[in-house]
């Protein structure tokens, strides 16, 4: 394991070069072409088994050790976001209106170089490592489910994944067993009123007023309909009525998101939203259309695998602190993988201590401390090596 840690340090410069190249040429979800081609070429040059177009645009590479044994899967996503980058850096995005604003370029570079280091130690490797490079994490239905259906987890015994996390200081690893990230759903509503002259409201049904009443009442759903011990969020992010100032609106369009960790709560919220919408429209003589789109499931970490990562991370010299974190309301489709095999997903701190301002993920000025990639690779690599060595020798992992 120490040899792997050293090899990764030696390859860190290459990791940075790869990350910056990918950052310059981001591609949005479900439209990735150059990125998966680049990834597949990298693995073929390493001599690994490579499958392209897995579940659409995904890439899966397999490294088989000198001796047979169990199999560890590692996953990295590679899609960018439809954001115009405002950073003035040498590796600024060259694709207009698209940037890596969430660190997926770093995830990809981390996994590629880790694969290279493990390949160089092939003679000592027991078992196999499957490198899953996933497309379309940012936009539901995402790439994970399709890649699983296309066989990316066949023969896999455990899966590990990480997210470079800019709000958390460099050197800190965040872990949590159970729910660490929420389910992320979306809803769309059309409220149909009756338009009219702004001076004669008695002859109209004002869709804006109906919509405003609904959105205001929606704020009580979590506080009065969901048990206090169950965390959930309902957010309206879009309220649209394109109308002249002196005309009563005929139609309003409302869009929002629902976040929850518990599946029962998730389904309850869906029902409660429509119940409230129906009652509001009925009482104010309007009609409605309601569409609810199930997004990603919650990310539920397995206990043993989480404890395993927690233990391994504490042994890595570049890791200064391992923290059991509270759950996050953000969504991630990594949860699909752990519906099929045991695993855990953790966060790798990527906040540069010298930066006065740290921009959040999905911001046009987002960036991260590239040294976090080395830490992520070392934790994932050590966990993989240790798991295969322990499991295939019949020893206890923990």
pTM for this entry: 0.94
Rounded to whole angstroms, the Cα distance separating 193 from 312 reads 60
Give residue for tokens 């965040």.
174
Rounded to whole angstroms, the Cα distance separating 47 from 45 reads 5
Confidence at residue 391, expressed as pLDDT on a 0 to 100 scale: 63
Region 112-134: mean pLDDT is: 97
Q: Is-catalytic flag, 367?
A: no
Confidence at residue 394, expressed as pLDDT on a 0 to 100 scale: 42
Same domain, 190 and 165: no
Mean pLDDT, the chain, as a whole number? 96
Element (H, E) at 64: strand 58-64
Same domain, 330 and 233: no
Question: Is 397 contained in some domain?
Answer: no
Region 141-150: mean pLDDT is: 97
Region 207-236: mean pLDDT is: 97
Region 63-84: mean pLDDT is: 97
Domain that holds residue 291: 184-296
Query: If you compute the radius of gyration of the chain from its CA atoms, what whole number of angstroms results?
Result: 24
Which residue in the list 137, 138, 172, 206 is annotated as catalytic? 137
Question: Is 331 contained in some domain?
Answer: yes
Rounded to whole angstroms, the Cα distance separating 64 from 48 reads 8
Same domain, 190 and 176: no
Question: Is 309 contained in some domain?
Answer: yes
Region 224-251: mean pLDDT is: 96
Same domain, 248 and 289: yes
- Give the tens place of pLDDT for each residue, 50-60: 999 999 999 99
Bond before 141 cis per omega within 30 degrees: yes
Residue whose C-alpha is closest to residue 381's, from 42, 131, 18: 131
Residues with Cβ within 8 Å of residue 10, at least 6 apart in sequence: none
Which residue in the list 27, 32, 77, 79 is annotated as catalytic? 79
Alpha carbon of 296 to those of 128, 216, 258, 272, 382: distances in Å?
A: 28, 27, 11, 20, 29
Report which DSSP code applies to 394: T
Confidence at residue 1, expressed as pLDDT on a 0 to 100 scale: 76
Give the distance, in angstroms, between the CA of residue 27 and the centroid of all CA atoms in the same chain: 16
Same domain, 172 and 151: yes
Question: Is 232 contained in some domain?
Answer: yes
Question: Is 398 contained in some domain?
Answer: no
Q: Kindly report the number of other CB atoms within 10 A of residue 388's CB atom.
A: 24
Q: In this structure, what token pair is assigned to residue 367? A: 């960036």
Same domain, 218 and 336: no
Residue 126, strand partner residues: 67
Confidence at residue 392, expressed as pLDDT on a 0 to 100 scale: 57
Same domain, 206 and 158: no
Percent of the chain with pLDDT over 90: 96
Same domain, 166 and 37: yes
The helix-helix angle for 12-24 and 104-120 (nearest 10°) equals 140
Q: Is-catalytic flag, 137?
A: yes
CATH for 212 = 3.30.70.360
Same domain, 33 and 154: yes
Q: On the CB side of 86, how many CA atoms lie within 13 Å of its CA?
A: 7
Is the pLDDT at 282 greater than 80? The verdict is yes
Is the pLDDT at 231 greater than 80? The verdict is yes
CATH for 312 = 3.40.630.10
Band (pLDDT 50/70/90 cuts) for residue 398 is very low
Same domain, 39 and 170: yes
Question: Is 369 contained in some domain?
Answer: yes
- Domains held by the chain: number: 2
Question: Is 65 contained in some domain?
Answer: yes
Same domain, 91 and 122: yes
Is the pLDDT at 389 greater than 70? The verdict is yes
Same domain, 7 and 57: yes
Is the pLDDT at 117 greater than 70? The verdict is yes
Confidence at residue 2, expressed as pLDDT on a 0 to 100 scale: 87
């Amino acid at each position: 394991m120490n040899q792997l840690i050293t090899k990764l340090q030696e390859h860190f410069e290459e990791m940075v070069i790869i990350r910056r190249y990918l950052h310059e040429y981001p591609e949005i979800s479900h439209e990735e072409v150059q990125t998966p081609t680049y990834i597949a070429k990298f693995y073929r040059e390493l001599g690994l088994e490579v499958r392209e177009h897995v579940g659409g645009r995904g890439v899966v590479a397999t490294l088989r050790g000198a001796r047979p044994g169990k199999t560890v899967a590692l996953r990295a996503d590679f899609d960018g976001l439809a954001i115009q980058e405002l950073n003035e850096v040498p590796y600024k995005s060259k694709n207009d209106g698209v940037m890596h604003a969430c660190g997926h370029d770093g995830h990809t570079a981390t996994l590629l170089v880790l694969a290279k280091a493990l390949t160089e130690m092939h003679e000592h490797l027991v078992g196999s490592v499957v490198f899953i490079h996933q497309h379309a994490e940012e936009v539901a239905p995402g790439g994970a489910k399709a890649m699983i259906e296309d066989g990316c987890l066949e023969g896999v015994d455990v899966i590990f994944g990480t997210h470079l996390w800019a709000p958390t200081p460099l050197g800190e690893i965040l872990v949590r067993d159970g729910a660490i990230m929420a389910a992320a759903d979306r809803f769309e509503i059309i409220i149909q009123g009756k338009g009219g002259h702004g001076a004669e409201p008695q002859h109209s049904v004002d869709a804006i007023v109906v919509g405003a009443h609904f959105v205001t009442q929606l704020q009580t759903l979590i506080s009065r309909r969901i048990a206090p011990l169950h965390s959930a969020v309902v957010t309206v992010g879009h309220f649209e009525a394109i109308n002249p100032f002196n005309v009563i609106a005929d139609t309003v369009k409302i869009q929002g998101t629902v976040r929850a960790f518990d599946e029962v709560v998730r389904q309850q919220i869906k029902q409660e939203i429509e119940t409230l919408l129906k009652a509001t429209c009925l009482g104010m003589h309007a009609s409605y259309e309601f569409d609810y789109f199930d997004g990603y499931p919650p990310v539920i970490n397995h206990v043993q695998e989480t404890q395993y990562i927690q233990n391994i991370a504490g042994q890595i010299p570049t890791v200064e602190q391992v923290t059991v974190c509270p759950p996050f309301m953000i969504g991630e489709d990594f949860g699909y993988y752990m519906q099929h095999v045991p695993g855990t997903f953790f966060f790798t701190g990527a906040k540069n201590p010298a930066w006065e301002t740290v921009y959040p993920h999905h911001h046009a000025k987002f960036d991260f401390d590239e040294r976090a990639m080395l830490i992520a690779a070392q934790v994932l690599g050590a966990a993989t090596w240790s798991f295969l060595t322990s499991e295939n020798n019949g020893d206890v992992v923990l």
